[in-house]
């Protein structure tokens, strides 16, 4: 196997709606790979096909060397899945929930190790229904990694998190990545993709419109800098490929350029351009 995930000309329709159209993807082993796109772009359908939870209409798909549509239990033991919705096992404790899932696998992390890894060691005896939203999400990840997966799918993992909880969750994902786990995640948060992903695929209308590192995706838009300053009570804005030279010219003779800022295109600019919203 040269890739953890290999997809060629994947297509899926629901009646007249073409959710995914001739989509190609490659994800390397040990890579953190993010999929960005607006609602209805085909992100969840693609992930569900890769997980083996949804049949495709056409195309070739290989995940860890096998076709998810026909792969057996040994293959399923190699993947971990964290869905969008928080898990709730009612009256079970955190530890009991973990033990129930661990019995589904052969090779597993100990419950104690998995809970410590996600920061839930101190609440292992608590009922799941008493956990906060952030703690429940961490439990979802613990359930997803208890089987020591080679590939972990994360679908909108931090939706509804406050900024502090989101960054704590990012630290957890980075830790798993350093441990060698291949991670595929879908997200609506551009800063999340920039913080976590080695590469990003932007999907629009069921097609991949760009794949690159978060930093290099900005090359898909005009790279000119925007220089803004206030002079004589008026706001001046100019775009240029040579901002330093522009500033030198405008400040010649000791002219003060108040509130001077220089900005470059961001990942958000590139994303909006790629999905046709700019």
The CA–CA distances, whole Å, from 217 to 53, 130, 145, 272 equal 31, 42, 30, 11
Q: What is the pLDDT of residue 155?
A: 86
| Beta strands 151-155 and 79-82, pairing class | parallel
Q: Are 65 and 4 in contact (CB under 8 A)?
A: no
Question: 3-class DSSP state for residue 163?
Answer: helix
Residue carrying the six token digits 């961490």 = 138
The token pair that represents 2 in the structure block: 């040269």
Q: Give the single-character DSSP code of 41.
A: S
Question: 3-class DSSP state for residue 162?
Answer: coil
Percent of the chain that is helix, strand, coil (3-state, to 5)? 35, 30, 35
Q: Are 214 and 267 in contact (CB under 8 A)?
A: yes
Question: 3-class DSSP state for residue 96?
Answer: helix
Question: SS3 sequence, 227-270?
Answer: EEEEECCEEEEEEECCHHHHHHHHCHHHCCCEEEEEECCCHHHH
Q: Give the single-character DSSP code of 93.
A: B
Beta-strand runs (E) in 44-198: 58-63, 79-82, 151-155, 182-186
| Cα–Cα dist 47/203, whole Å | 12
The token pair that represents 216 in the structure block: 């290099």
- The tens place of each residue's pLDDT in the chain, 278 residues long, gives 689 999 999 999 999 999 999 999 999 999 999 999 988 899 989 999 999 999 999 999 999 999 999 999 899 989 999 877 655 677 899 999 999 988 888 788 899 999 988 889 999 999 998 988 778 888 888 898 899 999 999 988 887 777 887 888 888 889 889 988 999 999 888 889 989 999 999 999 899 999 999 888 877 777 788 899 999 889 999 989 899 999 999 898 888 899 999 988 788 888 888 887 65
Helix axes 133-145, 94-102, angle to 10 degrees: 20
| Cα–Cα dist 20/13, whole Å | 7
| Cα–Cα dist 72/26, whole Å | 22
Q: Are 5 and 151 in contact (CB under 8 A)?
A: yes
Q: What is the pLDDT of residue 85?
A: 67
């Amino acid at each position: 196997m040269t890739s953890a995930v290999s997809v060629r000309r994947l297509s899926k329709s629901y009646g007249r709606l073409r959710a995914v159209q001739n989509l190609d993807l490659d994800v390397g082993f040990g890579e953190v790979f993010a999929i960005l796109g607006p609602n209805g772009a085909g992100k969840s359908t693609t992930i569900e096909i890769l997980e083996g939870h949804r049949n495709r209409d056409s195309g070739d798909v290989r995940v860890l060397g096998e076709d998810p549509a026909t792969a057996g239990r040994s293959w399923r033991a190699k993947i971990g899945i964290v869905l969008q919705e928080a898990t709730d096992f009612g009256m079970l404790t955190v530890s009991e929930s973990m033990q129930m899932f661990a019995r589904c696998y052969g090779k597993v992390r100990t419950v104690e190790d998995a809970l410590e890894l996600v920061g839930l060691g101190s609440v292992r005896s608590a009922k799941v229904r008493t956990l906060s939203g952030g703690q429940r999400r961490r439990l979802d990840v613990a359930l997803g990694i208890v089987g020591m997966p080679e590939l972990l799918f994360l679908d909108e993992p931090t939706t509804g998190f406050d900024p502090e909880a989101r960054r704590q969750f990012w630290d957890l994902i980075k830790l798993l990545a350093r441990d060698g786990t291949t991670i595929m995640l879908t997200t609506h948060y551009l800063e999340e993709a920039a913080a976590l992903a080695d590469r990003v695929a932007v999907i629009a209308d069921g097609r991949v419109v760009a794949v690159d590192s978060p930093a290099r995706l900005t090359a898909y838009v005009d790279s000119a800098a925007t220089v803004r300053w206030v002079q004589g009570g008026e706001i001046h804005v100019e775009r240029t490929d040579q901002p330093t030279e522009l500033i030198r010219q405008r400040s010649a003779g000791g002219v003060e350029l108040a509130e001077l800022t220089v900005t470059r295109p961001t990942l958000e600019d590139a994303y909006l351009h790629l999905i046709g919203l700019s």
